[in-house]
């Protein structure tokens, strides 16, 4: 069993209860008589249940099942984060794993919907403008859109000027990785992923991910690795349990 952080999966209860929760919520999603609130709740809960199962299987080193459940989580991650009728309003930080799931595991149709949905957040839900700018860059590059150097530069400048340790050590390297992808600078891309994983490790030991299920793996770093592979045929060389590169290999 992998030791990644202090999140308690309560495996026995999870594996016993999850099938029932999933069955009930799938029925809500597929029931045309269900209220919009029930469908909205179902999308969010299904995304969470499938992700928790995926991360639990990863910790238990059942890598095939982990990948299977991440794929199952993806359509509901889109619905709960971006669908005009079913989305919940998240913040600039906690929307990221939903974006990443679509980029990593979404089918062509789901990625196209993410590309054209016109996502935005109300001002009150934006903690750091740099993070919000990164979210938009991530959606664009992850769905095959061309980024202008000016929008990347705006995000880089905002991140560098933000007096927050997590922005400096995590969001800035992610923006730098995107910049490296557009500039075809493989060394910068690789170094940026290394910085992201270093931050992630520290967050799992001492920070916000110490008891958070999202600490199980770095989806942001994994997405950067996938984009490098897909766009330039680069192979990420970072060796970390938080970066399961097998997930981006067919």
DSSP annotation of 245: G
Report, as an integer, the average pLDDT of 7-33. Answer: 96
Contacts of 206 (CB under 8 A, 6+ apart): none
What spatial distance separates the first Cα and last Cα of the chain, rounded to whole Å? 24
Taking the CA atoms of the chain, what radius of gyration do you get in angstroms?
A: 18
pLDDT tens digits, one per residue of 205-250: 999 999 999 999 999 999 999 999 999 999 999 999 999 999 998 7
Indicate the domain borders of the chain: 11-248
pLDDT band at 89 (very low <50, low <70, confident <90, very high): confident
Cβ–Cβ under 8 Å, residues 217 and 224: no
Cβ–Cβ under 8 Å, residues 104 and 246: no
**Res 175 pLDDT > 90:** yes
DSSP string computed for 105-141? H--HHHHHHHHHS-----GGG-S-HHHHHHHHHHHHH
pTM: 0.96
pLDDT tens digits, one per residue of 90-134: 999 999 999 999 999 999 999 999 999 999 999 999 999 999 999
């Amino acid at each position: 069993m992998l030791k990644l952080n202090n999140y308690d999966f309560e495996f026995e209860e999870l594996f016993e209860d999850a099938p029932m929760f999933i069955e009930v919520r799938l029925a809500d999603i597929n029931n045309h008589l269900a209220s919009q609130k029930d469908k909205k709740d179902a999308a969010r809960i299904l995304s969470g249940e499938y992700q928790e199962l995926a991360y639990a299987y990863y910790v238990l080193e059942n890598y095939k099942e982990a990948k299977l459940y991440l794929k199952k989580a993806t359509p509901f991650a889109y619905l709960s984060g971006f669908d005009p009728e079913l989305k919940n309003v998240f913040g600039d930080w906690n929307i990221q794993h939903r974006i990443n799931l679509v980029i990593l595991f979404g089918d062509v149709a789901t990625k196209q919907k993410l590309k054209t949905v016109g996502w935005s957040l109300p001002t009150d839900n934006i903690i750091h403008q740099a993070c919000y700018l990164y979210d938009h860059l991530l959606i664009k590059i992850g769905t095959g859109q061309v980024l202008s150097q000016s929008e990347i530069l705006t995000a880089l400048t905002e991140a560098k000027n933000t007096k927050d340790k997590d922005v400096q050590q995590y969001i800035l390297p992610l923006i730098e990785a995107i910049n490296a992808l557009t500039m075809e600078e493989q060394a910068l891309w690789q170094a940026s992923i290394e910085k992201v994983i270093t931050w992630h490790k520290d967050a799992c030991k001492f920070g916000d991910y110490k008891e958070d299920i999202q600490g199980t793996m770095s989806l942001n770093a994994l997405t950067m690795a996938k984009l490098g592979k897909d766009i330039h045929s680069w192979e990420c060389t970072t060796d970390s349990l938080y970066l399961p590169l097998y997930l981006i290999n067919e």
